[in-house]
Amino acid sequence: MRLADKTALITGAAKGLGAAIAHAFLNEGARVYLADIDDARGRAQADALGGDAQYIHLDISRDEDWANAMGEIDQLDVLVNCAGVTSLGSIEEVTLAKYRHEFDVDVFGVMLGCQHGISKMSAKGAGSIINFSSATVEISEPELAIYTSAKAAVVSLTKSTALHCLRSENGIRVNCISPGIIQTEMLEGALAEVPEGEREEALKRWQSKVPLGRFGKPGEIASAALFLASEEESGFTTGINLFVDGGASI
């Protein structure tokens, strides 16, 4: 078991990629805290996974929520900053309120996670932080003005944080995963923002940008997270942005 005796906190774990990562980590022996703002779905997900899965309410954009979450955990070996939001709109269409909200979650939420994660892991002198960006930092769309800029910030934050941890000699590795288009509720939500008559064309356009010719599966992203979580497999890996996108960023 690659994560035996390890404790992981995964944000956005009530559904989608977060839930898939939680499932993979549990199968490899980890004790997993599923964190989300959707309490009903998060508790149901933890109950369904069973075993060493527990739910924690966590609004990642709130510093006090992070402090409360860390107070409920005895140790932390792996932190997965997976929670995020996305909205469609060109630079002329987006509002300042939408921009601020998405940065609150997708950027500041990751920043707070890194801060609290480092504080919790430093005493042990080891740990893995896995942030989530997006392949759209390389293959943008005109209607993703907010999302792409937020996810680009996550990549830079990851690299800077990795260097900080190396300089601090705290034993914490910090990496990033950039998924391509994955078959999750987030894809369905993005598609719902497209006018109904244009959705089929949008799907074809998005899929045409993937050299492998299909969208990704949540389990394929979970496998990447498992690699970065495992000290045995990725102990010499820090500061990277791992694209898992079917070749779309080539």
Residues that are catalytic = 147
CA distance 110 to 30: 22
CA distance 115 to 32: 20
Smallest Cα–Cα separation from 9: which of 74, 89, 92, 88?
Answer: 74
Q: Please report how many Cα atoms fall inside a 13 Å half-sphere around the Cα of residue 149, on the Cβ side.
A: 17
List, in sequence order, every residue forming a beta bridge with 173; answer none if it has no partner.
128
Long-range CB pairs of 39-46 (<8 Å, 24+ gap) are 41/14, 41/15, 42/13, 42/14, 45/13, 45/14, 45/15, 45/19
DSSP state, residue 228: H
